[in-house]
Amino acid sequence: MESFLLLLFLLLQPLRLLAASTLGAGTLNAPCGQQNIELQYTALVVVLAVGVNLISAVGRLKLTNIEKVRRYTAEMKAFQSEMRAAIKEGNKQKQEKLKKKQQQMQKMQAEMMTENLKPTLFFALPFFGLYFLMTQFLNGAHVCVLAVAPISIPLIVTSIPILMPYFWWYLISSFAFSTIITRLFGLTFD
């Protein structure tokens, strides 16, 4: 893990030096809120979010039994719809029959959670390390703002103009690409 972080740090250094030389030290060292938004940092965070989602998707493909999770998901949905129908109809006999099957469904749900948790446990520490490294890199370059939101985002950004720091820009970028990447790799369970 240390070698991965070191390699990433070394790969990011030329970008940082290039940004410092082309933009001038005055822009990078300006106090927060008084600096220009540096597009290369904005793009770098988007690339990081896409990269993390790609690695996570590949890891999920390799570490998770996708067919088993899909099968269990379909069975759980069928069971839940049967239970709702029995409750809606007031069919006590069917409800009792389904309650006996409920323990089996809970066991299946626990197995599904275990399958989905495998890649999370495997990739969590490297991803946190990468996030911390990127935070240090951006703080070292005195980058406070990475994007300006085109619309108001309640509870996330409250300043006007709506400036987004690293955390929020990374989160939005990650959510934006995670759905696309999940569908590309066929990791949806619906």
- pLDDT score at 37: 67
Mean pLDDT score, 51-72? 91
Statement: residue 190 has pLDDT above 50: yes
Q: Tell me the pLDDT tens digit for each residue of 17-30.
A: 344 444 444 443 44
CA distance 87 to 144: 54
Each as own residue / partner, the long-range contacts of residues 49-56 (CB below 8 Å, 24 or more positions apart, any chain) are 49/170, 49/173, 49/174, 49/176, 49/177, 50/173, 50/177, 50/181, 52/127, 52/130, 52/174, 53/174, 53/177, 53/178, 53/181, 54/181, 55/123, 56/119, 56/123, 56/127
The pTM for the full model equals 0.68
- pLDDT score at 110: 93
More confident residue, 38 or 53: 53
Q: How confident is the model at residue 6 (pLDDT cuts 50, 70, 90)?
A: very low
- pLDDT score at 145: 75
CA distance 13 to 19: 10
- Residue 147 has a CB neighbour count (10 Å cut-off) of 21
CA distance 142 to 31: 8
CA dihedral sign, ordered 56, 62, 67, 68: negative
- pLDDT score at 120: 87
